[in-house]
Structures are given as structure tokens and as C-alpha cells.
Amino acid sequence: MSAAGDTADGADVYLCDAAAVADGGRGVRFPVRAFGVDATGFVVRYGGKAYAYLNRCAHVPVELDGIEGEFFESGKQYLMCSIHGALYLPDSGACAGGPCRRGRLHPIAVREREGRIYWAPDAHIRPRDAAEQGARAS
Ligand code: FES
């Protein structure tokens, strides 16, 4: 089994096995370097598809899950911030109610391949190790 941080094609980063993320169930957190600071991302499954976001509420920049991995509200239709109850659409990250107003979660691209989920770094969301290596190289 691959460890977190293994790459599939030189760009995507192994996140977890696909079976670890059940539809409407607990999400899986993963470490990232976001906009220059250490943070976490998370992946959930909704309608059979995996979606990942930066774990940062649009209301106040805190992590959504008060209990690790608990991102869905009880109806399993929305992602919910545990602090003030902001609701987000699982398939877009758009605010659907509560204090997030017109905000949205920052998406992280994910791909499922051969029973595994990988995430794709972008200009703002990087693996922590890569960010540290870049800092050392500069
Ligand atoms: S911090 Fe998330 S709803 Fe207020």
C-alpha cells in the first residue's frame, strides 16, 4: 500500500484508498500547504463521486470539522461547519446557508484511479514536503 505523499504520475499526490471515503460518510483529512501556511484539506464522497476542499470555512478561516472527519450534517446533503453551522454544497463548495453567505470552500482537484484517490496540487495548495523543499531551494 502506498503511503500518503506517493505520487501516481509525478503530479498527483496519493490521498487515501477510495474505500476509505463512503458516500455521505466521514471525510478524510490530509496535510497541505495552503497560501503559504500549513493547513489541511479533506475529501468526502457525495453522489458516488469524491470531492476535496481546503478545510477552511468561508465565514471565519477555521477548520470545519469539530470532530475529525465529520463534515456532513445529519441529513448528509450538506457539508457543515461545526462552529456556526455554515452549510456548503458537497459537489461545488458553494455556500448553501448560514454565515458563509456568498463564500465558498476552496476546491482541490481529486482523481480516483484503481481504487485510490489522488489530489492535484495547484498554485496555492501544495504538498507540505514540496513547499518545504521549495523554501529550502530558494
Ligand atoms: S466559522 Fe464556520 S460558520 Fe462561522
Q: Is 84 in the pocket of ligand 1 (CB under 6 A)?
A: yes
Read off the pLDDT of each residue in 43-57 and give the average, rounded to a whole number. Answer: 98
pLDDT digits (tens, 9 = 90+) for 83-128: 999 999 999 999 999 999 999 999 999 999 999 999 999 999 999 9
Per DSSP, helices labelled H in 1-138 are 128-137
- The DSSP call for residue 134 is H
Architecture in CATH of 13-137: 3-layer Sandwich (2.102)
Residue-level pLDDT at 6: 47
Q: How large is the greatest C-alpha to C-alpha distance in the chain, in angstroms? A: 48
Residue 28 has pLDDT above 50, yes or no: yes
Locate the ligand 1 atom nearest the alpha carbon of residue 60 and give its number: 1
Taking Cα atoms as reference points, which of 26, 38, 94 lies closest to residue 66? 26
Residue the block writes with cell 505523499: 5
| Ligand 1 centroid distance, CA of 16 (Å) | 27
**Residue 59 β-bridge partners:** none
- Give the containing element (helix H, strand E) for 132: helix 128-137
Burial of 1 (0-12, 13-18, 19+ CB in 10 A): exposed
| Confidence band for 129, pLDDT divided at 50, 70 and 90 | confident
How sure is the predictor about 65, in pLDDT bands with cuts at 50, 70 and 90?
very high
| 84 alpha carbon – ligand 1 mean position (Å) | 5
| Ligand 1 nearest atom to the CA of residue 58, by list position | 2
Domain ranges of the chain: 13-137
CA of 52 to the centre of ligand 1 (A): 18
